[in-house]
Amino acid sequence: MLDRTIICMKWGTRYGPEYVNRLASMVRRNVTQPTRFVCFTDDGTGIDDGIELQPLPEINIPDRVAWTPWRKLSVWQVPLADIEGDVMFLDLDLVITGSLDDFFEFKSGAYIAIDNWTQPGRGIGNTSAFRFRAGQHTHIFDDFVTDPEAILSKWRIEQQYISDTINKMQFWPKDWCVSFKHSLMPRWPMNYFKTAELSANARIVAFTGKPDAEDALIGEWPGRSLKQKLYKHVRPTPWIADHWR
């Protein structure tokens, strides 16, 4: 088995098969070493031939959070399909803008996450893009499935739970993983006049909340209240199309 694996998860209808196909295409263009790509999903309809599909890993999880990022905890179980070595998890709504090779060479074997953009320096690892060694830190999964309600009552979101209970967490270099909204968008009122620019060293751009990549591409910010329309504004961002394909 390859010791470099990139995985993603697709469930429900929030993200269609085109997100998996696009992510796999971006991965292929941005790796130079043999890298396995696996999508864990409950429905493989429309996903391109050649993309390896695996069923969603089993997990004891309450219905109210069953289809939220808490399901990501299922990747910490052993075995995880037949995956070995370093594993990198990528959310479906990322835009990959640079080489992913360094993500496997950087502190191999360690758990690496993103220093959360909205809480920098507070030891919270954002799980939009993280890497771990298969078979390690299994207590994250085991403790949750033993008593999920105890975990859910103590931690609001899964990335806080992981950050507080992981044996040792490290972070990607700050300029590798950026947030479109928090790192690249000009602050109000300049967001009305200036297009978000892609930073030079960015390899992954995350679209947390709104706008999504397809919204930012055409300059739309859906779901805004009348008050929010005064400051939540994004100009059309053409560089997204260059990479998000």
Tokens of 52: 């390896």
Q: Based on the domain organization, do 118 and 211 belong to the same domain?
A: no
State the total domains in the chain. 2
Q: Model confidence over 215-236: pLDDT tens digits? A: 999 999 998 998 898 899 999 9
Q: Model confidence over 65-118: pLDDT tens digits? A: 999 999 999 999 999 999 999 999 999 999 999 999 999 999 989 999 999 999
Q: Based on the domain organization, do 29 and 118 belong to the same domain?
A: yes
Distance of CA 26 to the CA centre of its chain: 14
- 52, 38 Cβ separation under 8 angstroms: yes
Q: What is the pTM of this model?
A: 0.96
Domain end: 128, 155, 171, which one? 171
- 25, 245 Cβ separation under 8 angstroms: yes
Q: Based on the domain organization, do 66 and 181 belong to the same domain?
A: no
Q: Based on the domain organization, do 61 and 182 belong to the same domain?
A: no
- 199, 91 Cβ separation under 8 angstroms: no
Give the structural domain span for 91: 4-171
Band of residue 173 on the pLDDT scale cut at 50, 70, 90: very high
Q: Model confidence over 132-153: pLDDT tens digits? A: 999 999 999 999 999 999 999 9
